[in-house]
Structure formats: C-alpha cells, structure tokens
Amino acid sequence: MAAEALDQLIRLLAKLPGLGPRSARRAALFLLRHREGLMVQLAGALRAAAAEVHPCSLCGNLDGADPCRICTDPRRTSDQILVVEDVDDLWAMERGGLFRGRYHVLGGTLSALAGIGPEDLGIERLLGRIERDEVAEVVLATGVTVDGQTTAHYVAERIARLAERDHPVRVTRLAHGLPVGGELNYLDEGTLEAALRARQSVA
C-alpha cells in the first residue's frame, strides 16, 4: 500500500490533461526518483506560478503582470485584435512571431450543451476594447469546430452592430484550409502564417 501522500500525489497528477492513473503513477515514481533535481524544484515552480501568474484583465492572456506584457508593449499595434479561444492558441501565434497586434482570449467557445454563453467569454470586454482603442481590424481565429464557428459568427455579428453606430471595423477570419476540427495550437507555424496572411473579410 502506498503512503497517503503518495496516493494524493498520484490522484492529483491523474487530473492533468493527457495523464490517466497509469501514467500518473509513472510520473510520481519518476518524481520521487529525482527528488532534488526535479520534484522539489517543480513544487516551487507550481507554488510560484499559482501565486504570480494571472489572467490579464484586458485580453485574458496569462502573465505575471496585469495588463500583460503584450497589452503594454508599445511596439505592438493596438488597432488590430486577434481573437482566440484559449491561451495556448495565443502562444502558438506568438511562437512564430506571426502577429504584431494584440489579442483577445475568449477562454472557450459558445456552447449550448455546456451552458457557456457570451457573458462567460468576455465578449462585452472585447467590444469595449474595440471602441476604446479605435480598433480597425478584428481577426477571428477560433477553431474550425462547430462551436468555434458558431462563436466566430456571433462575435462578427456583435461587431457589425457596433460598427453601424460608430467607426467601421473590418472583421476577418483566418483563411480556410485549416484541418476540420483542428485547433490553432496544433498547427505548425507555416500553416498558421499562411492562414493569417490569406485571411478573408467576413461578409
């Protein structure tokens, strides 16, 4: 029988994405065998990240500063916003240095099934930024899933209504050719760059 602390460790590890009970046991063993070199350092890194890393109140990116370093970077243009589902999609764009505007992280997609509505995705916050920062273009880069498409359609519609009563905003989508059901963060940089360069206006 494993000790209580070990049981607890395995139970928690098994909650990580991609890890079942079997791989959680393997990971726990590995950690215990690399106690000083890895386990203690990992414990410290977890504690520090939990205390210091938070969502940016403007864009939803995860960072140690709020607003995040992307939102406050003066070299980036504030008149373009790229809308992504999640922070790892933002990271995928940033890895390739593909985009020099700012981001808006929805934190998911609209989903009737999961009970996720516009208010859960910070869409009002996005509309507020568009007005305040006089954003000229919003690039919709949600996934090519049913929920991702529904969300993009909804956001485009809300922006169109906004644009009618104020300044015009160009709404674009990443070019087609992305694999169906594909998520941004699984795409290589070349594919992402091509999709961004060939982005198309939403009617």
* Euclidean distance between CA atoms 115 and 5, whole angstroms: 36
CB of 78 to Zn ion, least distance (A): 11
Report the nearest approach of Zn ion to the CB of residue 143 (Å): 21
Q: Which is nearer to Zn ion, 10 or 70 (CB)?
A: 70
Q: The tokens 């049913």 sit on which residue?
A: 146
Residue 137 CB, shortest distance to Zn ion, in Å, is 18
The distance of closest approach from Cβ of residue 151 to Zn ion in the complex, given in angstroms and rounded to an integer, is 20
The residue ranges that bind Zn ion (CB under 5 A) are 56, 58-59, 61, 67-68, 71
> d(Cα 40, Cα 25) in Å, to the nearest integer?
18
Residue type, 170: R
Kindly state the tokens that stand for 41. Answer: 């350092």
Nearer to Zn ion, 61 or 172 (CB): 61
Helices (H), the chain: 4-13, 21-33, 40-52, 87-95, 123-132, 146-165, 189-197
Comparing CB distances to Zn ion, the nearer of 70 and 178 is 70
Q: What is the rounded CA–CA span in Å between residue 169 and residue 95?
A: 27
Beta bridge partners of 29: none
Complex with Zn ion: residue 72 or 149, whichever CB lies closer? 72
The answer for residues whose C-beta is within 8 angstroms of residue 24's C-beta and 6 or more apart is 10, 11, 13, 14, 16
Strand residue runs (E) in 50-142: 54-55, 62-63, 80-84, 102-105, 137-140
Q: Which is nearer to Zn ion, 58 or 84 (CB)?
A: 58
If the CB atoms of residues 62 and 163 are measured against Zn ion, the closer one turns out to be: 62
Min dist. Cβ of residue 101 to Zn ion (A):
12
Closest approach, Cβ 60 to Zn ion, in A, equals 7
User: What residue is closest to Zn ion based on CB?
Assistant: 56
